[in-house]
Amino acid sequence: MDTLIFSLNAVLPILILILFGYILKKVRFLDEHFLQIGNKFVFRVALPTLLFYTIYKIDNLGDISWPVIIYAVLAVILLFITGLIVAMIVIKDNHQRGTLIQATFRANYAIIGIPLAEALGGQEAVGVVALISAFVVPLMNILAVLALTMFVRDENEQGHPFLSTLVKIVKNPLIISIFVGLLVLWIRSYLPIDPETSEPVFSIKNNLVFLYTSIQWVAQIASPIALIILGGTFEFFVIKNLAKQIFFGTFSRVVVAPAITLFLAVWLSKNTNWFNFSAIEYPALIALFASPTAVSGAIMAKEMHNDEALAVQYVVWTTSLSIVSIFIIVFIFRSLNLI
C-alpha cells in the first residue's frame, strides 16, 4: 500500500496540473496568446532559473557523478539506433521516418522530467537532472538534426543544418543557465572557506540574500507553470491515415525506450562496480527515459520539412500515455527499493 501511495503521489500532481491547464484552455480562461507568452517565460526564464538554482546548491564539483552522466549519453545514442531500426522497418515515407526516430530518443526532459525527478528524489535528484542536461540536451539536438535530415533533403536551405543547430544549442537558455551554474560552482570551489560556517567567504546565498531568495522563488514556480502551459496546448485527436505511424512511435517512446534503458541501468548497477546508481540517480534516469517526447520536436520537424502533423501527434499521445507508464515504472522501482 505504501508503494502504491508513493507512486500516486509522484505521478498524480503532474497529471492534475496538465489536466488543469487543459480545462482552463477549454473554458477559454487561457487563450493562445497567453500560452505563447507562457511558453516563452517557461523556456527562457523559469526553467533556466530552476536549473541554475539546483546546480548552485551542489556543494562542490567533486559531487558530480560521472557514471550516471556517461550512461545517460550512451543510452540516448542506443535509443537513437533503436528508433532508426523501427523507422526503417515499419515506415515507408521518408518524411515520417525522421519524425519517428526523434520521438523515440528525444525526451520532454525539462517540462515533465524535472517535476518527476523532484517528486521522486527531491532537490538532490533535480541537481542530477541539471548535470545530465548539460550533456544530454545538446546531444539530443544534434541527433535530432541527424534524424530529420538523413532521409529528407531541402535543396533551398542555406547553411549547413548541423552548424545552425550548434548555434541554437549555444543560444539555448537551458544550456546557458546550466553552464553559468557550473561556472559559478567552479569559482566558488576556489574561494577561501570561513572556518566558523565551513562555507565560502562569499556566496549568493549568504551575502546576497535578496538575490538568492528571488532566484529561489522563480525556481519554485517553474515546474507548476510549465505543466499548466503544456496542458493548455493539448488537442486530442487521431489522424486516421497516420494511425500505424502514431502507434509505433508512441509505443517506442512510452514502452520500448524506458524498458530498454531502465532495465539496463538496474542490471549494470547490480552487476558492475562503476555503474552503481543510487536512489538519487534513478529518479533522474526515470525522468530522462520515461518522459514523453519533447514538444520542441514538432517545431523542429516543421522547420526541417518532415511530417509536422505526425510530430504533433507524438507529443500529445506520448504525453497522455506516459502518465500510465511512469506510474508503472515508479511502482516497480519503489517495490524494489530503488527509489
pLDDT value of residue 241: 80
Q: Is residue 88 part of a domain?
A: yes
Amino acid, res. 41? F
Confidence of residue 116 (pLDDT cuts 50, 70, 90): confident
Q: Is residue 98 part of a domain?
A: yes
With a cut of 90, say whether residue 87 has pLDDT above it. yes
Please write down the HEC assignment for all residues of 15-52: HHHHHHHHHHHHCCCCCHHHHHHHHHHHHHHHHHHHHH
214-231 pLDDT tens trace: 988 998 888 788 788 878
Q: How many CB atoms lie within 10 A of CB 12?
A: 13
Write the CATH number for 75: 1.20.1530
pLDDT value of residue 45: 87
Among the listed residues 35, 38, 60, the one whose alpha carbon sits nearest the alpha carbon of residue 47: 38
The one-character DSSP state at 61 is G
Confidence of residue 122 (pLDDT cuts 50, 70, 90): confident
Q: Is residue 10 part of a domain?
A: no
Compute the C-alpha angle 61/65/67, nearest 5°. Answer: 145
Q: What is the mean pLDDT of residues 125-132?
A: 84
Q: Is residue 67 part of a domain?
A: yes
Q: Is residue 65 part of a domain?
A: yes
Do the beta carbons of residue 50 and residue 114 sit within 8 Å?
Answer: yes
Q: How many residues does the chain have?
A: 339
How many domains does one find in the chain?
A: 1
15 to 11, 40, 175, 229, 326: CA distances (angstroms) = 6, 22, 27, 13, 11
243-282 pLDDT tens trace: 889 999 999 999 999 999 999 999 999 888 888 898 889 9
Q: What is the mean pLDDT of residues 179-200?
A: 77
Q: Is residue 334 part of a domain?
A: no
What is the domain range of residue 297?
36-224+237-321
65-75 pLDDT tens trace: 889 999 999 99
Q: Is residue 60 part of a domain?
A: yes
> Strand, helix or coil at 248?
helix
Q: What is the mean pLDDT of residues 32-55?
A: 83
Region for residue 305 given its phi and psi (left: phi exceeds 0; alpha: psi -120 to 50; beta: otherwise): left
With a cut of 70, say whether residue 152 has pLDDT above it. yes
Q: Is residue 203 part of a domain?
A: yes
Confidence of residue 162 (pLDDT cuts 50, 70, 90): low
